[in-house]
A and B are shown apart, each in its own frame.
Chain A
Amino acid sequence: MTITITDFLVAFGVAFCGWALQTSVSGITRKTVARMQKRYGPKWYQNFRDIFKLLNKRAITHGWVYDFGVIMALAGIIGTAMFTPVANIVVFKGYDNFFVFVYLFAVGMLGMAMSASGSGNPLASIGVMRALTQMVGYEVPFMVIVLALIHVRDTSSISALVDIQQASGWNLVVMPIGTIVGFICLMGMLGKKPFDTYIAPAELASGPMVEYGGKQLGMLMIMHEIATFVEISLFVNLFLGGGSNILEFLVKYFIVYTLASYVSNVLGRFKIDQVVTFYYKIPILLALIQAGMLVIFGWGV
């Protein structure tokens, strides 16, 4: 398949719209959470204001590793978002492989880790270390589930998995336990409570972000919104059957993000050792049971 310049423009459009979508959705969530706490809450476009304000501030630097890491993080995440299948828009057909996401996503995360360590603040190093530790926690159950799924479906292309689900039922129905595990892992990926150990504002002074201010923080906020978009889209595509049209996809997207935020708003924070032991106890057990059901007994396939 040849890739034209139009494909790149469309792919960039997907990344941009994903950013705008996620920024609006998280603003709406801020508002509804505020209402749940009997407050008025900010305007729904508050997150846009925050980002533009940050881009408008003066920036300091802590050396070129610090600056370069931020750009690398943003570029890595935009690159990942360009491959994301949204409803029936699959830009690079044949390249939307699950493993492409796994590898490209790591570029963004490593960029951020590099930049944060480059700032030289000990709290940032602790935050990065915790983020990587947490990754070790949630990746294992998530991978068990997804690899089992890929094994029984015989394809690792996200859009092919979506097509199969639309023909023969969502994975939410086929593998309900796996979907629950996927959701718990999604909470870990998003860094929502109780898994926000590596940000922990009161304990680590916001962890990896501790030295960021001004433009760099604005770029990291953009990166965070796009990363959230990629993660939630991945969940919707893998477990909720993607979407046959944009509207269906958006509704599912909205529900998943809102649910994750609401769950996070009623929970406290785990300590980092509790995070890892939690993931290695319940989700991994459930994931193995689900994988056994799928692969050995072929239930639900």
Chain B
Amino acid sequence: MAKKANIKKDKVKKIVIDKSKSIIDAPSGMFSDKINEPFAHEMIVSKDRSENLTPKQRKRKWKSMANYFSANSLWMLMYCTGCCAIELPQAMTSRYDMERLGMGPMATPRQADILLITGYLSLKTLRRLIYTYEQMSEPKYVVGFGPCTLNGGIYHDSHAVINQLDQYVPIDLYIAGCMPKPEAVMNGFQDLIDLIEVGEATGWKDYHARYEWYKQNQKEALGEVMIHDEFHE
């Protein structure tokens, strides 16, 4: 227990240092102050156009174009875990129409860009989730739905359910609500798009940078991350 508390403190400190420039206090990108500048990437591009670019600037310009494409074509892998998943059909079909943001469901982790974690995760599911997350090709983003992913929600004292998801995989955005209404889901996706456009959704880089830390937490919760069944041997 004491060890766990230590890890948490360590993480919070680290994140404040890492992202203090743009994010106010959440461990995710939830409260980015750049959220109201949806065309920030275009501003960067147009500013650079007239000048002679140094290699560094050229790299940045290339990156902002790349961000534009990643942000506006998000394919999601729906790995539905908890009850929040029930709000996704409405967000996908005619009423809220997620396709107008360029989003759509995809069949396999290899093709997907975002992983939606819709609610509580049992330990057994967490193993599969980690496998799935590691199969996705980068850049990749994770969205957590509801308090269950944030602090355990109404399952906070269950023996079979993990409480803080961002100890095991990096989360780029949380969507509030138990369960979040389709409006909140759509709003959350729009926020994610804005974050990606300005290059703030860097959870996957964090996973590289602090791989040891994530692995340690995963081992602590699961004992062993490997899955032993007929599909994984």
Contact = CB atoms under 8 A, between A and B. Distances in A.
Given A34-B97, A213-B112, 14 more contacts: A37-B94, A39-B94, A39-B97, A39-B99, A41-B99, A42-B102, A49-B69, A53-B72, A56-B70, A201-B105, A210-B108, A211-B110, A213-B110, A213-B136
B125 interface: no
Among A57, A58, A60, A213, max chain B CB count under 10 A is at: A213
A212 B97 contact: no
A-B complex: 8 closest residue pairs judged by Cβ atoms? A213-B110, A39-B97, A213-B137, A53-B69, A214-B137, A206-B107, A205-B107, A201-B107
Interface in A41-79: 41-43, 46, 49-50, 52-53, 56-60
A115 B32 CA distance: 43
A201 to B, nearest CB: 4
B187 interface: no
B70 A210 contact: no
Interface residues of B, number: 26
Interface in B111-127: 111-113
Contacts, number: 82
16 contacts: A34-B100, A39-B99, A41-B100, A42-B101, A49-B102, A50-B73, A50-B102, A53-B69, A57-B113, A58-B138, A59-B137, A201-B106, A206-B107, A211-B108, A212-B111, A214-B110
Interface of A: 30, 34, 37-43, 46, 49-50, 52-53, 56-60, 201-202, 205-206, 209-214, 217
Contacts of A60: 110, 137
A211 B110 CA distance: 6
Interface in B39-96: 66, 69-70, 72-73, 75, 93-94
